[in-house]
A and B are shown apart, each in its own frame.
Chain A
Amino acid sequence: MLNKARTLKDILWFFVFFGLVAGIFRLWFGLGATTNLTDSVPWGLWKVLNMIAGVALSTCGFTIGFLVYVLRVEKFKPLIKPAIFVAFLGYGSSCFALLFDIGLPYRFWHPLFMWNEHSFLFEVFWCVMLYFSVTFIELMPNILEKYKLKKTVGFLHKITIGVVIIGISLSTLHHSSLGSLFLITPYRLFPLWYSSLLPVYFFTSAAGCGIMFLIFVKILYSKLYNPVSVFGEQTNGKVPVVCSLNRNDGNTATKEYGKDMPMLSSLSIVGASLLAIYLILKIYDLFRLNLFNTLLIGTWESWIYILELLLTAVLPLVLVIIKKSRRSPYGLGTATFSASLGLALNRLDVGIIGYFRDAGSAYFPSLTEWALGIGVIAAAALVFLFVAENFSIFDEQWKVYKINKGIFKASFDTINRVWQAALHSGLQRTTIIGVFVLPIAFVLMYPQYKSDKGIYVVPASGLNTIRSILIINANTPGMSTEFPHLKHQETLGKEQSCIECHHISLPDDKSTPCSRCHRKMFEKTLIFNHEMHKGWVAADRQIPGLQPENKTCAICHLPGLPKDINSAVGCMECHKEDIHVANTLNLPKQFLYADSYFYVMHKRCIGCHQERKQGVNKPNLDQCSNCHQSYYTQYETKKELYGSLASD
């Protein structure tokens, strides 16, 4: 039982450490380097899963508050503390994750003073903030009880009903407003999800699934710490508590579960009836907007839509309606878990997935986004477990699970004493997880270790054999520029003219084409190939007494210095005769990087054209349109060119 809790905590710590590194990287390197967000999909996992779905799953605070304080259903009173606490943690973790999502986290307070009353986001901000304070006030008595501040607690109890009513109004507003956020995107959101009823959907589904989520938390918590209260006595020792809502139906011979089960199953009926309203509204909306064609056409969106509806409403409803599964913790657990999962999926659909078709590109969160998103949730769960262990959040009192604070003396024989023995005790166990997880997280998420995301652009797709025309399209189909190579060669003077433009002839090349080195269209490229040089340079010179492969090192890297770029001799030491001195190119000592193709072509062409425009009496020779006219006028001449190519 406690071993299970400990394993769960280990897993949670794993995610927390991962999230810690992710959070630091997010703040250090910025959003672009750590997330997969783009201009087409600006809202990602943190905002939608952590904020919108997280807040939606924390509605139990106000629904149970409504049931207990306003409607005075005394049956659910034991659940009020965990409900408020789950709400508090849910809102807290959501807001914390949101701090990492917004571009300028240090300005989170701006909406307090800078108002735009027309924005639903503004309303959500205020309501969430106020409601978070309300949950805090509601929570205070439970914490203060432990410190025996009777006056404060008494005062807080007196104002409870007022605070609860304010909380319920605020929740009604912001849960529907979270749906209204997406009303502003009528032509971007996929029509299955866009509806003018979005606020109502969001409110009903959040209220229903919030209750279900609380039941799930209760069942899970009991499984870990106090199985008797929900799962019943495992042995035959004591008097069994019969789970039956209505003792008059004569069907008391059902399986015996814990004493909390009747309460949970009757609560699940409340949640399920809210979900039923949600389901009916959704189906009504399909009729109203006439979306059956879109639903049945079989796009992947429609499958996700059906899955989401099944998980959120249909499966939980069925499981709750069947009496047998409703009264069993396993059936109820499945129902509530499915509802929570479905709710998260629904929010992801409305917030992210529904925009893919419009954006024209899909988005899958990066590792950093998953790590931080899950890490924040894991941290909230750890706080929950900690508080539930040390304060009386769930009403029953049980033996507080104490960690054995073992202390180890310094010993060089560490692997046995300091490491293995630490596995049996609390915080020292956690630090071991940290020692291993932090480096892994660092290496996996460090932006500079990721593979180069930049696309490789092949600049010139032309004719290598004849070289009469070079067609430069820069990977933009439909837009290209022709460079009439043959024409230039003839105008400038046949065979002798090569060196006018080609400034280098690498070994085995007559005159090296531009794209050999200027490989990328708009970026500099690393052109120095170390492996290749190693093989070639050795053949040239002989240094006696060295291991054959090491001879080359001594040629380029000066002895007595670190073997890096700075200690190597310049490229011109060897390549002097390859460079055509005829043209006035200013080559540096080390030309490791070649400029972009775009840059060098413009530089070479425009410079030369500017010089020659007077001589040949063509005033437009240095204008853009001289080369780039193929955009529109040269469409016909293009055909001629292609024709001439074919004849060559």
Chain B
Amino acid sequence: MSERNEGISRRSFVQTLGMGAAAGALQGHAEARLTGQDEGGTGIVGPGPRPITLRINGNDVRLTIEPATTLLDTLRVHAGMTGSKEICDRGSCGGCSVLVNGALTASCMMLACDAEGAEITTVEGLGTEEALDPVQEAFIRHDALQCGYCTPGLVVAARALLDATPRPSLDEIKQGLSGNICRCGTYTNIFNAVLEASGQAPVTDAEVNRG
């Protein structure tokens, strides 16, 4: 055990250096002690699946999941809502951003049980194909994406920002979107989409980079 470091893979070490991520060690599997149900009124549930109800985009959705399930996996795998993206899986990229009672949240780092009873808004809940959210309209008009994988999270983060600050300054936009990474580097277009969605004039790359 003490020399386990001998077998470190380059990949996992690089992951750790980059993002605090690493492959999980395979250790002894905990014995399942209880079923998913609350037996005997102890208030203790799991580790097996149990029914929970999540309120997602205004609908009550009944699901059967283990306590050890993130909100992101619940949305994508169990509820079939794949708008929220899994990218870093450590709360550092913003790709999985959703609103929980209006608060911008990394759904990959939240257990689904923590969202029980809350109003969850995913990107699917912002606008419809016929009537897009103004943020979505502005993202299209400003070509605020390249590969598009970060876009759902950025749209949700922009919505949260504008809900709290209807006319944000460029600096407030940078702050509000600071938990979302676009590795294609489309930031100027993203900021301009948010500026337009809040009725403000666009800026240039030079203004964005000024500080």
A and B physically associate: no
**Interface positions of A (Cβ within 8 A of B):** none
**Interface positions of B (Cβ within 8 A of A):** none
